């Protein structure tokens, strides 16, 4: 019985790893850190999912994707448990997810940035030093507080002259 439960749990995690975030499809929902748990009770699987922020328009779509993907993978009894505590922050993004963002051309948020941040010389400054994901230069400037989604900002690199997005610290 224990082996069957573990196999079902492993299968569920493997399927969840394949579900892309609808706003940043280079990341899986597991990479993003919004899948908090997979609980198995007999043949029923309950997935704990944390929204990235209150009112995120993708939350219901992601939850539906979880149910449909697991059912398509042969796990027929699926439920979602919305996890609100602890709240999601960008610190939940996995190291692998951060690497994927950088490779895709999006500057990932720093780990622990919510608590301490790496600010420009002035302690009262609110701007962060953001390294270009293409060339690594920290000689960058913010073009717009908002990028293609509310969780990203638009930047440009002064060194390589490439525009890029920065996944904000949330």
Domains of the chain: 2-82 (3.30.300.130), 106-167 (no CATH)
Query: Is a pLDDT exceeding 60 seen at residue 119?
Result: no
Peptide bond into 86 cis (omega under 30): yes
Q: Which residue has the tokens 């990479």?
A: 31
pLDDT in tens, 147-156: 888 889 999 9
Average pLDDT of every residue of the chain = 89
Mean per-residue pLDDT for 9-14? 97
CA distance 87 to 92: 10
This prediction's pTM: 0.84
pLDDT of residue 98: 96
Q: How far apart are the first and last CA of the chain?
A: 41
pLDDT band at residue 164 under the 50/70/90 scheme: very high
């Amino acid at each position: 019985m224990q082996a069957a439960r573990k196999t079902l749990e492993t299968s569920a995690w493997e399927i969840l790893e394949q579900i892309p975030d609808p706003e940043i499809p280079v990341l899986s929902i597991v990479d993003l850190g919004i899948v908090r748990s997979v609980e198995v009770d007999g043949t029923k699987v309950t997935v704990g999912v944390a929204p990235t922020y209150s009112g995120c328009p993708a939350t219901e779509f992601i939850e539906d994707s979880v149910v449909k993907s697991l059912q398509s993978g042969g796990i027929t009894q699926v439920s979602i448990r919305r996890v609100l505590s602890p709240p999601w922050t960008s610190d939940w993004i996995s190291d692998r997810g951060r690497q994927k963002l950088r490779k895709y051309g999006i500057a990932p948020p720093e780990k622990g940035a919510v608590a301490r941040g790496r600010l420009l010389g002035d302690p009262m400054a609110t701007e962060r030093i953001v390294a270009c994901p293409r060339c690594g230069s920290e000689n960058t400037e913010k073009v717009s507080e908002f990028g293609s989604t509310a969780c990203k900002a638009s930047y440009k690199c002064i060194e390589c002259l490439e525009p890029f997005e920065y996944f904000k610290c949330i």
